[in-house]
């Protein structure tokens, strides 16, 4: 198990953990996955970042401070001195100009973060100035995102580019050119990843000088490897039942939980009966016993969602979602329906999704609907925004967005045209408010627009927030120092903070 990696507990300075699938390209201008953030955040650094375990505060990273012009069009970043890339060359404002240009040229998923840039200037080696085409209230959130532009060595890219690959994306898929505390020294696709401490790192030396990551698709196997000592940490994937039965009362292990912005949501298809009736959609929100469902499925690893957007995206109590629990309303509405058949789809990448779907089905059946559940792959759901054929009546899955600004969630999941707006609901007034807030200069104006948009999304009945999920890791008890980057799931544990007693 665990790829045959030898057991190492106590004083070893090698940390062993696992991924559940192959990560594909680890080029920061291409990578858009989850688990691989464990590597990209350890090998690369951005200008700014979210504070440890906090998606509401943005703090320095490779920029020690920054300013924003009053018109929202110019950002000036003052860079940290004496930062070296892993190839030994210096990080400067010119290298950051190169990095923004490379992201645009690669044109991967996160390229939108620099799409609003009109020009850049480098008045001196430690001052980097970005000019925007128009105000973007979320721009600093783009730069704090785990998928933000990263410092990538121009010299390394120049060395490995080819006539057909001018940005060296092929080479960078399995190598690194960053400034982070770790270098990616070995990749065996589908098997292992190895990180080594970068001896000239500008910051503190991490306790673990080597990180070995095996690919182990089955989480039960990962649990067995953790119990045998082959793995030191499971970053995610332990089922709530196993947390309680196998690890919670065993002094050999420690369970680490963090608040996250990952949201378990239920999307309702307003284009198919019976949910083409707004009153029926709204009644569903009152029919579901969310408190009981989340407690039964997640135990202590999630809390009931009380806002339309994820935690931290809006001030507390803004954009609230707290429908009164009253199953009689849906029961009365269903009694008048001719078409009572409902297919509840859920993504199969996490067994808790199926459990939630089963509970939702039970509540709908109790109201008189003919509800069934259906497992679908995430790849199938990716087609639904643009290909209506095959869409279910409902969809349940956990999701997170690129950054903590409310616009990130709305433009991806709620607004028509969003990459994961599964049912294209057509809440145009709310979509327009999101766009207005994103283009606002004043943060207060943006929040006001986002709050009203959240209310309109709620009033449409197309979306039911179910739970705010927690990041849960399990480690051998001698490992401490856990913190979570960006409050995201699966890839947010900061390896360089971990220590062993």
Q: Which residues of the chain have pLDDT under 70?
A: 1-11, 487, 489
Predicted pLDDT of residue 108: 94
344 and 333 Cβ atoms separated by less than 8 Å: no
150 and 167 Cβ atoms separated by less than 8 Å: no
Predicted pLDDT of residue 272: 97
Burial of 390 (0-12, 13-18, 19+ CB in 10 A): exposed
Alpha-carbon span 392 to 149, nearest angstrom: 36
Predicted pLDDT of residue 8: 40
Q: Considering just the CA atoms, what is the radius of gyration of the chain in Å?
A: 23
- Beta bridge pairs of residue 371: 342
pTM to 2 decimal places = 0.91
Alpha-carbon span 412 to 252, nearest angstrom: 41
Sign of the dihedral through C-alpha 238, 24, 469, 62: positive
pLDDT of 316-329, one tens digit each? 989 999 999 999 99
Residue with token string 């700014």: 48
Alpha-carbon span 7 to 214, nearest angstrom: 13
Looking at domain 259-469, which CATH architecture does it have?
Answer: Roll (3.10)
Predicted pLDDT of residue 157: 98
Helix, strand, coil percentages (3-state) for the chain, rounded to 5, are 30, 25, 45
Predicted pLDDT of residue 320: 97
Q: CATH for 48-154, among 3.40.640.10, 3.40.630.10, 3.30.390.10, 3.90.76.10?
A: 3.90.76.10
pLDDT of 350-395, one tens digit each? 889 999 999 999 999 999 999 999 999 988 998 999 999 999 999 9
Residue 93 parent element (H or E)? helix 93-106
Alpha-carbon span 347 to 282, nearest angstrom: 23
Sign of the dihedral through C-alpha 464, 467, 468, 472: negative
Predicted pLDDT of residue 489: 67
Q: Which fold has domain 2-43+180-252+477-500?
A: D-Maltodextrin-Binding Protein; domain 2 (3.40.190)
Alpha-carbon span 378 to 398, nearest angstrom: 11
5 and 212 Cβ atoms separated by less than 8 Å: yes
Contacts of 63 (CB under 8 A, 6+ apart): 47, 48, 77, 78, 79, 80, 128
Predicted pLDDT of residue 487: 66
Delimit the domains of the chain by residue range: 2-43+180-252+477-500, 48-154, 259-469
Burial of 124 (0-12, 13-18, 19+ CB in 10 A): exposed
Alpha-carbon span 414 to 423, nearest angstrom: 9
What ranges in 261-311 are assigned the alpha helix state H? 278-287, 290-298
Structure-token pair, residue 72: 């929202």
308 and 256 Cβ atoms separated by less than 8 Å: no
Predicted pLDDT of residue 51: 92
Q: Is 345 helix (H, G, I), strand (E, B) or coil?
A: strand
């Amino acid at each position: 198990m665990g790829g045959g990696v030898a057991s190492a507990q106590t004083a070893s300075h090698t940390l062993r953990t696992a991924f559940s699938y192959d990560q594909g390209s680890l080029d920061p201008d291409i990578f858009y996955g989850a688990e691989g953030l464990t590597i990209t955040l350890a090998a690369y650094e951005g200008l700014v970042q979210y504070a440890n375990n906090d998606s509401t505060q943005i703090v320095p990273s490779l920029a020690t401070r920054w300013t924003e012009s009053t018109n929202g069009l110019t950002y000036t970043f003052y860079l940290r001195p004496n930062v070296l890339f892993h190839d030994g060359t210096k990080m400067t404002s010119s290298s950051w100009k190169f990095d923004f240009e490379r992201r645009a040229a690669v044109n991967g998923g996160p390229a939108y973060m620099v799409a609003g840039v009109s020009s850049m200037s480098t008045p001196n080696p430690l001052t980097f100035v970005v000019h925007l085409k128009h105000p973007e209230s979320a721009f600093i959130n783009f730069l704090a995102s785990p998928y933000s532009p990263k410092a990538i060595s121009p010299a390394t890219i120049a060395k490995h580019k080819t006539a057909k690959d001018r940005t060296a994306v092929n080479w960078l898929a399995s190598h690194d050119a960053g400034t982070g505390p770790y270098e990616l020294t070995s990749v065996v696709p589908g098997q292992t990843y190895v990180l080594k401490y970068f001896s000239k790192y500008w910051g503190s030396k991490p306790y673990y000088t080597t990180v070995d990551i095996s690919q182990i698709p089955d989480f039960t196997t990962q649990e067995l490897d953790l119990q045998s000592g082959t793995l030191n940490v499971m970053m995610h994937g332990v089922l709530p039942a196993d947390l309680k039965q196998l690890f919670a009362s065993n002094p050999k292990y420690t369970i680490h939980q963090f608040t996250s912005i990952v949201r378990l949501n239920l999307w309702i298809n307003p284009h198919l009966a019976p949910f083409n009736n707004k009153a029926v959609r709204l009644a569903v929100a009152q029919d579901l016993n969310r408190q009981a469902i989340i407690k039964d499925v997640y135990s202590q690893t999630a809390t009931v969602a009380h806002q339309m957007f994820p935690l931290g995206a809006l001030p507390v109590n803004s954009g609230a979602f707290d429908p009164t629990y009253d199953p009689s309303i849906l029961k009365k509405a269903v009694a008048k329906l001719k078409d009572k058949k409902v297919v509840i789809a859920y993504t199969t990448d996490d067994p808790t999704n199926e459990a939630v779907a089963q509970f939702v089905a039970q509540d709908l059946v109790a109201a008189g609907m003919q509800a069934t559940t259906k497992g679908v792959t995430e790849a199938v759901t990716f087609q639904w925004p643009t290909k209506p054929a095959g869409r279910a009546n409902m969809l349940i899955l956990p999701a997170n967005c690129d950054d903590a600004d409310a616009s990130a969630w709305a433009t991806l999941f709620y607004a028509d045209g969003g990459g994961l707006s599964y049912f294209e609901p057509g809440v145009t007034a709310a979509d327009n408010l999101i766009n207005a807030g994103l283009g606002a200069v004043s943060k207060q104006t943006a929040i006001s627009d986002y709050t009203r948009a959240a209310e309109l999304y709620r009033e449409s009945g197309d979306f039911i927030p179910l739970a705010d999920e927690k990041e849960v890791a399990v480690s051998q008890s001698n490992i401490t120092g856990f913190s979570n980057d960006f409050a995201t799931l699966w890839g947010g544990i900061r390896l360089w903070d971990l220590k062993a007693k």
